[in-house]
Structures are given as structure tokens and as C-alpha cells.
Amino acid sequence: MKLNLKSLTELEQFAQKFAHALKKGSCVTLHGELGTGKTTFIALVGKYLNVTEYITSPTFTLVNKYQGKMEIYHLDLYRINSETDLYNMDIEYYFRKKNALVFVEWAEKLESFYPQEYLKIEIEFGENNTRIFQITAQGPKYEDFIQRLNTVDN
């Protein structure tokens, strides 16, 4: 699924649809350069999952936890330098959370720690300040998610 979002309003509308299609136990990986909107997207999804706290990037803490309709773990791997760092933070613990959502920024650093199934979102800069979202299902669970996403009304 590929989207070209032309404004913050379009991003917010998509985030709302995305939030309504999510189920507990979902893992979403986000990839993209600095400034493409990974944290902004997560914050908007959180808004539609009734998170009342201000969602920020956990660049220095590595993990932020929020409560809304369900528990949300927001991981930022920007400062991770090796698989040893991932092992030491017990990254797999978050992937076992069946009653929570897990968002992973800079997920390309997961290397061999990727979960078996996840939803991959690649964000890149488009023309005229647009953002291009490429969403890929990694596993049958997320193929169903993309089908749900295409049928969700705002």
C-alpha cells in the first residue's frame, strides 16, 4: 500500500484510520530519514487511541510507555549501535506483549531481532513537502491488517 500524503490534515486522517484498524499485539516498524514524520505519525495514532500524554521520541530513554485504549510501547533505536545493545535492552520482551501495541522507530537497526510478523512503514520525503508512506505486511496477520485498513471509515 502506497500513500502520498500532502498535508498534516491528510496525515491525521490516515492516522485515524490506522488507529481504528489496529489490534492488540500489533508491531509496527517505522523507517525513514530524520524529519520524515515517524514520531508525528505515532503521536497522531496515539491521539486516536485515547492517549492523553504528549507522545515524544524516546531517543535517549529508548522506550516510552503510554496508556490509551491499550498499552503502547514506543521504541526509538536511533542510538543503538549493535545487536548487543538490542540484546541488553531485551528487545524481544516488547515483541511478546500480546495486549499492547509496539511501535519501533529506526527499525532497520533490529538486524536479526525482527519479530516473525510485523507491519513495515517506510516514510520518505516527496515533492512540495509531501510524505510518501509505503506500508508492507510482513506475515498473514498484517496482510489482514492492510485489508482492514482499506475498509475502515473515518
Stretch 19-36: mean pLDDT: 91
Give the whole-number percent of the chain exceeding pLDDT 90: 53
Set of cell numbers at residue 36: 520524515
Q: What is the pLDDT of residue 139?
A: 86
Give me the pLDDT at residue 57, please. Answer: 80
Split at pLDDT 50, 70, 90, the class of 73 is very high
Q: What's the pTM?
A: 0.91
Q: What is the pLDDT of residue 100?
A: 93
Q: At residue 132, does pLDDT exceed 80?
A: yes
Mean pLDDT, rounded, of the chain = 89
Please give the average per-residue pLDDT across 8-24, as a whole number.
92
User: What pLDDT score does 153 carry?
Assistant: 57
Q: Residue 38: name the closest of 58, 23, 22 by CA.
A: 58
Mean per-residue pLDDT for 57-61? 76
Mean pLDDT, to the nearest integer, of 37-53?
93
Place 5 in a pLDDT band, splitting at 50, 70 and 90: very high
Angstrom CA distances, 136 to 18, 47, 67, 120, 150, stand at 13, 23, 26, 5, 13
For 96-106, what is each residue's pLDDT tens digit?
888 999 999 99
Count structural domains, the chain. 1
Instruction: Determine the pLDDT at residue 143.
Output: 86
How far apart, in Å, are the Cα atoms of 111 and each of 6, 61, 99, 107? Answer: 32, 20, 25, 8
- Is the per-residue pLDDT at 152 higher than 80? no
Number of neighbouring beta carbons within 10 Å of residue 100: 18
User: Residue 52 maps to which CATH number?
Assistant: 3.40.50.300
Q: Which domain, by its residues, includes 63? A: 2-151
The length of the chain is 154
